[in-house]
Structure 1
C-alpha cells in the first residue's frame, strides 16, 4: 500500500524563495498547511453571536479588517463572509466548532485549506516589493496591522494581510494553482534587494545604501 504524504504547492520553490530573499531587506517564505475555513453567516444573527463566543472573538464586521484570537486569524472578506486561518493540524476541530455554533441557522462552513497557500513577505523593503505589482496603498496609515484586502498582485488574485506594520510583515493568501507563478514573480522582483542594506540610524526611513 502506498504511503500517503502531504506536499505544499510551493515545495519546488522553497530553495528559490530562500535564495532570492535579502535578509536585511526582504524575506520570502511559504507558510504551508494552514487550516483555512470559509464562513458565511448573517452578521446580525444569533448564529454569528454563538460563533464569536466559540472562537473567543467578535467576527469583524468591517470588510477588509482582521482580528487575532489565540492562534486564529479571522479575515472579513465581505458583509457576511469570513476566512478563518488557524494553526496547522486544527482544520477538523475548527470546522467542527464553527458547524456546531452555526447549528440549524442559515449559513455555510467550508474547509478551503487546499484552495490557497500563504506566502510571507517581511522586512523593511517588503512594501516596496509588493507595490511593484500591487496598486494598494500599503503605507501603515492606510494599511496597518489588522487590515486585509482582496486585490491583484502581478495580475494574480490574492488576499493581502498586514501582520506587522512596524517590521513590516505581510501574508499573501494565493490560490494553489497560481502559487508557483506568484512565488516566481516575488523571487524575481526581490533580486534587486539582495544588494541593498538599510541606511544607518538617523537616515530617512526610505534611504537605502547599495553594496558593491
Structure 2
C-alpha cells in the first residue's frame, strides 16, 4: 500500500486561514453576518451538451433557463439549464467521475449525440447569500434580479463585472442565494469585485458550504 499523500486541490480564491475538507483546501472562516460569499469550487461540475429540441432536456429533467435539484444516482445534485442545449450539473466534492457516468448512462437512451465533460478543476463557483445579495449583484451587472423576474430556480448567463458568468438563483433556507460559475482564471477577480461591491452591506467571506 502506498504511503503517498493524495494531492491537495485548491480553488481559485485565496483562503486565509485554510483548512482541508474533502481533499480541498478551503477557507476556515465562518461568517456570522447576514451577507456572505463562499468559494464553492470543490463541488463537482459536469458540463453537458445535447440537442436543445431533442429528448435530452426531458431526460435531465431541466430546461433552458431553469435549475432544479435531482438524484441522478450519485446523491443530491443541482441540474442547471445554462444555455440552449447546454447544462451544468453540480454535485458533492469528488463525485465528478460517478456523476459523469450516471449522466452518460441516462442520455444513452435518447439516441442523441451528446458530450459530457468534467470541468471541476477548470472552473470557479462562488455563492453569494443574503437578503442584500441582489443589491450587491446589481452593482456589477444589469440584470433585473427582482423576485418576479428572476425567482428561485432561475438560471441565466450574463456579464458580471465584465466577466461572462452563469448565474443561478438557488435559495438557501428561504434566503436569496446565487451561484456564480466562471472560468477558473476569473474566480479571484470576480470574488474581489463582489467584495468591493458588497462592502457597504458588510459582505463577509465564509467557508465552503456545499449544495445543502
TM-score, length-scaled by structure 1: 0.76
Among residues 11, 14, 27, which one is paired with 1:11 in the alignment? 14
> Residue 124 of structure 2 contacts residue 186 of structure 2 at CA under 8 Å; is this kept in 1?
no
In the alignment, structure 1 residue 122 sits paired with structure 2 residue 98: no
1:1-212 equivalences under 5 Å are: 4-12=7-15, 23-24=33-34, 26-43=35-52, 45=54, 51-52=59-60, 58=61, 60-61=62-63, 63-70=64-71, 71-103=76-108, 105-164=112-171, 166-194=174-202
Q: Give the alignment's TM-score, normalised by structure 2.
A: 0.76
Contact 1:67-1:75 at 8 Å conserved across structures: yes
- Total equivalences in the alignment: 184
TM-aligned CA deviation for residue 115 of structure 1: 2.5
Could you say if the C-alpha distance between residues 46 and 154 of structure 1 is closer, same or farther in structure 2, counting changes exceeding 3 Å?
A: closer
Deviations along 1:7-27, one digit per CA (max 9) or x if unpaired, are 111134778x998x7813x21
> Which ranges in structure 1 are unaligned for 5 or more consecutive residues?
53-57, 196-212
Q: Distance in 2 between matches of 1:162 and 1:46?
A: 25
Q: CA deviation at 1:181?
A: 0.6
CA distance in 1, matches of 2:52, 2:177: 29
